[in-house]
Amino acid sequence: MSSSMLIDKNSPYCPGCGHQSITLGLAKALELLNYDPLDVIVASDIGCCGLIDPMLACHTIHGLHGRACALAAGISIAIDNPKKKVIAIQGDGGATIGIAHLLEAARRNFNLTLIVNNNQIYGMTGGQFSGLSNETFQNDHGLVDAARPFDIVEIAHKAGANYSSRIIAKGDIAEKLKAALSTKGFSLIEILEVCPSYGIQKYSDIEQLGYLEKSFVNAFNPFTLQATSQKPFVTREHSSEAAQFKHKLEKNIKIILAGSAGEGIQSAAELFAKAAMYSGLHVTKKGDYPITVGTGFSVSELIFSPEEIYYTGINEPDIVLVISQNGFDYVKNRIGEKTSIVVDNAVRHDQTNIALSYDLKAIFGKKNAAICSIGLWILMNEPFPFAAFERAVKESKHGEKLSVVLDKTQTIFDELKLHA
């Protein structure tokens, strides 16, 4: 046998250890498949099986207990080259603690082969049982773990692995490994062996535990990267929106827009912020809503300022625009003596400093009430021209529809002025 895959035949393993025959079998299988050593990457766990590195002529990466499959997955995601072969080596203990990683590798059919050296026990730590230990297996202390083991081969198959097999580490296993190594997508091969230090007193042969060789195939698509738009968020062209309106603010104003989920609060706040920006103001905006975003209050906090804004918190707002009861209840404790309030008529409250109370939702519907309240507040106070808000609204996704809302807002404002 040629030995281009092996640079050191000195085995680190105990005499009679199955890991040695697996190492030799793996090297031979890769040679039979004509792999250049520099096209092969072996990721290994700590533990006895991970002592394989120094023997191999290929690239090696030696990681943590139980994570070699995940580490190999990361490598395989990076590599889009069918010439390259990624292999992970774990023991039965590593496959137990890292079982989620092999399920994920099977589900996505990452282009890699996972070899699980199952010698029934944790060898380095003294012969403890793993999740893959046979329920009749007795260790050198005479103990048995009666729980049934995971059938990792069937589990990998059910999870989508394009190839999974169980073999016995007996004789030349290179031919059997070739099928796994040639698979496109994820392949798992569980290799049964006996630990000469902690198992051999009771078993001369792993077949005494009743294991039979078997293999399964699937024909799922191997992993490929999903294309992303990769469109830059920041380019020089993004900065072409010059402020075309003039604001009248001499100091900052702090505004809270308070409504409920589904009332378009966050989008309305964005348009309000843009209108301020189009008027040359500095702006900060943040949303506040329950982690269950589809229900309860939805609040947006805005600061507009002629100067740069550092601190973005609002302790006591100057303005509160209230669309719903939820929103009011959430912000009412922050309303101060000087806070000016625009509120929907349907909201129950005990506030006296009301700048305007109106049938916002009854007239405009729950989706448009926020836009209307912002519009009315701008028209009443003129911090910047209403046209700035019209521009922001027109440019938005539902610009045409919302422009109608703004026209109606203007009409209402004119009527209010007449009545006043």
Partner 1 sequence: MTANYTLIDGSKLIVESLVQSGVESFVSYPITPANWINQYASQRFPTMAFAPDEITVAQWIAGLSSAGKLSATATSFPGLALMVESLNMSFMMELPMIIVVVQRLGPSTGSATVGAQGDLLLLNSLISGGYNIPVFSISNITDCWKVTEKAVHAAVELRTPVVLLTSKEMVMTSRSIDLALLPELKKAQYDYYKDSKPYVPYAANDKLVPPFLPLTSNEHQVRINSSTHDDSGTIKKATKAALGNTIRLHNKIQRRMNEFLIYEHDEDKDKNILIVSYDITGESTREAVKQLRNSGLNVSALYLKTIIPFPKELMTIINAYENVIYAEENLTGLLVKMIYGNNPPNNVSKVNRIGAMISPLEIIKETERCLQAC
Residues 57-116 that bind partner 1 (CB under 8 A): 57-64, 67, 70-79, 81, 84, 100-101, 104
Q: Report the run of H or E that residue 22 belongs to, with start and end.
A: helix 18-32
Instruction: Answer yes or no whether residue 174 interacts with partner 1 by CB under 8 A.
Output: no
* Cβ atoms 254, 299 nearer than 8 A: no
| Helical packing angle, 18-32 and 174-181, nearest 10° | 60
Please give the Cα distance from 19 to 123 (Å, whole number): 11
Q: For partner 1, how many residues bind (rule: CB under 8 A)? A: 72
Neighbours of 5 (CB within 10 A): 23
∠ CA 32-44-103, rounded to 5°: 95
| Minimum CB distance to partner 1 smaller for 101 or for 166 | 101
From candidates 2, 10, 230, 333, binder to partner 1 by CB under 8 A: 230
* Cβ atoms 47, 122 nearer than 8 A: yes
Q: Contacts with partner 1 in 366-395 (CB under 8 A)?
A: none
Q: To the nearest whole angstrom, how small is the minimum distance from the Cβ of residue 257 to partner 1?
A: 14
Copy the structure tokens of residue 215: 């293999």
Part in contact with partner 1 (CB under 8 A); list of ranges 19-27, 209-217, 305-313, 359-367: 305-313
Classify residue 278 as left (phi > 0), alpha (psi -120 to 50) or beta: alpha
| Minimum CB distance to partner 1 smaller for 59 or for 184 | 59
The two beta strands, 112-118 and 85-91, are: parallel
| Minimum CB distance to partner 1 smaller for 51 or for 321 | 51
3-state secondary structure of 23: helix
Please give the Cα distance from 376 to 342 (Å, whole number): 9
| Minimum CB distance to partner 1 smaller for 128 or for 252 | 252
Q: To the nearest whole angstrom, how small is the minimum distance from the Cβ of residue 298 to partner 1?
A: 13
Q: To the nearest whole angstrom, how small is the minimum distance from the Cβ of residue 242 to partner 1?
A: 5
Query: To 10 degrees, the CA torsion angle through 11, 14, 18, 19?
Result: -50
254 phi and psi, to 5 degrees? Answer: -115, 125
CA 388 distance to own-chain centroid:
39
Please give the Cα distance from 242 to 223 (Å, whole number): 46
Instruction: Answer yes or no whether residue 140 interacts with partner 1 by CB under 8 A.
Output: no
| Minimum CB distance to partner 1 smaller for 16 or for 74 | 74
From candidates 135, 154, 205, 241, binder to partner 1 by CB under 8 A: 241
Part in contact with partner 1 (CB under 8 A); list of ranges 148-156, 165-173, 233-241, 354-362: 233-241
Q: To the nearest whole angstrom, how small is the minimum distance from the Cβ of residue 120 to partner 1?
A: 24
Instruction: Answer yes or no whether residue 238 interacts with partner 1 by CB under 8 A.
Output: yes
Residues 20-59, one symbol each (x = binds partner 1 by CB under 8 A, - = not), give -----------------xxx-x-x--x---xx-xx--xxx
Q: To the nearest whole angstrom, how small is the minimum distance from the Cβ of residue 292 to partner 1?
A: 11
Among 304, 312, 298, residue whose Cα is nearest residue 370: 298
Instruction: Answer yes or no whether residue 274 interacts with partner 1 by CB under 8 A.
Output: yes
Q: To the nearest whole angstrom, how small is the minimum distance from the Cβ of residue 382 to partner 1?
A: 19
Q: Contacts with partner 1 in 196-225 (CB under 8 A)?
A: 225
Please give the Cα distance from 44 to 95 (Å, whole number): 12
Instruction: Answer yes or no whether residue 313 interacts with partner 1 by CB under 8 A.
Output: yes
| Minimum CB distance to partner 1 smaller for 43 or for 369 | 43
* Max Cα-Cα span within the chain: 102
Instruction: Answer yes or no whether residue 158 interacts with partner 1 by CB under 8 A.
Output: no
Q: To the nearest whole angstrom, how small is the minimum distance from the Cβ of residue 254 to partner 1?
A: 12
337 phi and psi, to 5 degrees? Answer: -65, -35
Q: To the nearest whole angstrom, how small is the minimum distance from the Cβ of residue 293 to partner 1?
A: 10
